[in-house]
């Protein structure tokens, strides 16, 4: 067995249905993975996390490997997503934050002034050795299943840093954005450097694709996205362009931003369930692959309806350069894991009618 994480990469790129679809090559079947596939829908996840705080688990190599593997073993998905969180690189450089159960990321000292930018130093490889060790271990254990590395995009991370926690309207974030544009651009520039480095370290350790999550970008108008966010998201994706792995870019409620999210340098654009996939494909044009987009709450519907809707998504996806099946956002914690396994089986065995 080789210890060089990249030794198997060329092979994976040609054999993996997920990587083929990302690159617009015909896959042997429609590939599928689920955002938040590792997590609270799985009893084995709840068992291993018992008594271990979320952030601690993200820095424990053995737990990251085990939790990332759990949905791959159980559902037979076509890709693994690295178990971590978008705030992990910020924690790794010493930002005082926690992930509070039932709430999400909470930042002790929200960033609202220029003097506080100094706390956002560059991410160094030594800050995340337990994480890159986990990537290396996973690549060995996953074999023919590719690993997706990820990071939070500048706007979404800035929202947590400025608000101090989850926010419905992103009021303080936009207050800083509109009122102190120089500070805003300096802040997003710092975050872009950290996110880009986090992605780079994951790919160098063996991840075969990356996803940049701009979950809350849907809160922005297209004009504000262009002025305040686009250059920074583009900088993150550009900073990993030389690594030659597919770059997926996803946000929630981003129907009006889809073409822009493609234009910032994505190979694959994630689509939430509010936009019909055929519309999204028309908006994105022939050069982008798409990922999505079944409503996560459909997994609570009768199986025949789930399958009918999944078939519609697969059929609509055929018009794209490539299609990776996913939900339109993360798996809800109350989801029956067997419903996910059945959905994977359905997608893998769905008869091609085209």
Among 25, 44, 85, 224, binds ligand 1CP (CB under 6 A): 85
Q: State in angstroms the smallest separation of the CB of 331 from ligand 1CP.
A: 8
Q: How far is the CB of 44 from ligand 1CP (least distance, A)?
A: 13
Q: Which residues pair with 99 in a beta bridge?
A: 105
Peptide bond into 141 cis (omega under 30): no
Instruction: Rule CB under 6 A: choose which of 27, 31, 89, 105 binds ligand 1CP.
Output: 105
Contact between 327 and 295 under an 8 Å Cβ cutoff? The reply is yes
The reply on whether position 101 binds ligand 1CP by CB under 6 A is: yes
Print the binding letters for residues 221-260 with ligand 1CP: x by CB under 6 A, - otherwise. ----------------------------------------
Closest separation in Å from C-beta 262 to ligand 1CP: 18
Active site residues: 36, 40, 49, 85, 160
Three-state secondary-structure class, residue 187 = helix
- Site for ligand 1CP, residues 16 to 45, rule: CB under 6 A: 35-40
Instruction: For the CB of residue 25, give the shortest distance to ligand 1CP in the complex, in Å.
Output: 25
Report the residue closest to ligand 1CP, judged by CB. Answer: 104
Q: Decide: 304 and 342 in contact? Cβ < 8 Å.
A: no
Query: In terms of C-beta density within 10 A (0-12 exposed, 13-18 middle, 19 or more buried), how is residue 287 classed?
Result: exposed
Beta strand 268-270 with 247-250 is parallel
Residue 200 CB, nearest distance to ligand 1CP (Å)? 17
CA–CA distance, 259 with 14 (Å, rounded to integer): 28
Task: Using CB under 6 A, count the residues that bind ligand 1CP.
Answer: 22
How does DSSP assign 93-110, residue by residue?
TT--EEEETTTEEEESS-
Q: From CA 286, how far away is CA 114, in angstroms rounded? A: 43
Nearer to ligand 1CP, 36 or 309 (CB): 36
Regarding 150 and contact with ligand 1CP (CB under 6 A), the answer is yes
Of 97 and 298, which CB lies nearer to ligand 1CP in the complex structure? Answer: 97
169 secondary structure, DSSP code = S
Dihedral sign for Cα atoms in the order 218, 164, 194, 184: positive
Q: Is 197 in the site for ligand 1CP (CB under 6 A)?
A: no
Asked if 149 is part of the footprint of ligand 1CP (rule: CB under 6 A), the reply reads no
Nearer to ligand 1CP, 161 or 321 (CB): 161
Look up residue 103 and give its two tokens: 């709430």
Q: How many CB atoms lie within 10 A of CB 183?
A: 17
* CA 150, 153, 156, 161 torsion-angle sign: positive
Q: Note the residues at the interface with ligand 1CP (CB under 6 A).
A: 35-40, 54, 81, 83-86, 99, 101, 104-105, 150, 156, 166, 213, 215, 330
């Amino acid at each position: 067995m080789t210890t060089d994480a990249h030794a198997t990469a060329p092979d994976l790129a040609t054999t993996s249905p997920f990587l083929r679809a990302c690159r617009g090559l015909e896959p042997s079947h429609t590939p599928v993975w689920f955002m938040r596939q590792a997590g609270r829908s799985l009893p084995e996840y709840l068992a291993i996390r018992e008594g271990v705080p979320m952030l601690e688990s993200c820095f424990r190599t053995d737990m990251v490997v085990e939790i990332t593997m759990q949905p791959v073993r159980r559902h037979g998905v076509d890709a693994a997503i690295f178990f971590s969180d978008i705030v992990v690189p910020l924690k790794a450089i010493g930002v005082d934050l926690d992930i509070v159960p039932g709430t999400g990321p909470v930042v002790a000292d929200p960033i609202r002034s220029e003097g506080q930018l100094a706390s956002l130093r560059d991410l160094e490889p030594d800050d995340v050795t337990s994480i890159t060790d986990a990537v290396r271990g996973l690549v060995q254990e996953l074999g023919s299943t590719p690993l997706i590395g990820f990071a939070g995009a500048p706007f979404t991370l800035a929202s947590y840093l400025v608000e101090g926690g989850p926010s419905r309207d992103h009021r303080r974030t936009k207050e800083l954005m509109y009122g102190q544009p120089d500070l805003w651009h300096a802040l997003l520039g710092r975050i872009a450097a950290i996110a880009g480095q986090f992605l780079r370290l994951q790919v160098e350790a063996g991840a075969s694709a990356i996803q940049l999550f701009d979950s809350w970008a849907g809160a922005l108008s297209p004009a504000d996205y262009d002025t305040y966010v686009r250059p920074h998201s583009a900088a993150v994706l550009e900073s990993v362009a030389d690594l030659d792995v597919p770059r997926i870019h996803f946000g929630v409620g981003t129907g009006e931003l889809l073409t822009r999210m493609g234009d910032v340098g994505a190979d694959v654009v994630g689509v939430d369930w509010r936009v019909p996939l055929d519309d999204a494909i028309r908006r994105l044009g022939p050069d982008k692959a798409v990922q999505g987009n079944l409503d996560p709450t459909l997994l609570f519907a009768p199986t025949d309806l789930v399958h009918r809707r999944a078939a519609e998504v697969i059929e609509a996806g055929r018009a794209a350069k490539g299609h990776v099946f996913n939900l339109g956002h993360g798996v809800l914690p109350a989801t029956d894991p067997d419903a996910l396994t059945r959905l994977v089986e359905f997608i893998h065995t769905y008869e091609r009618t085209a």
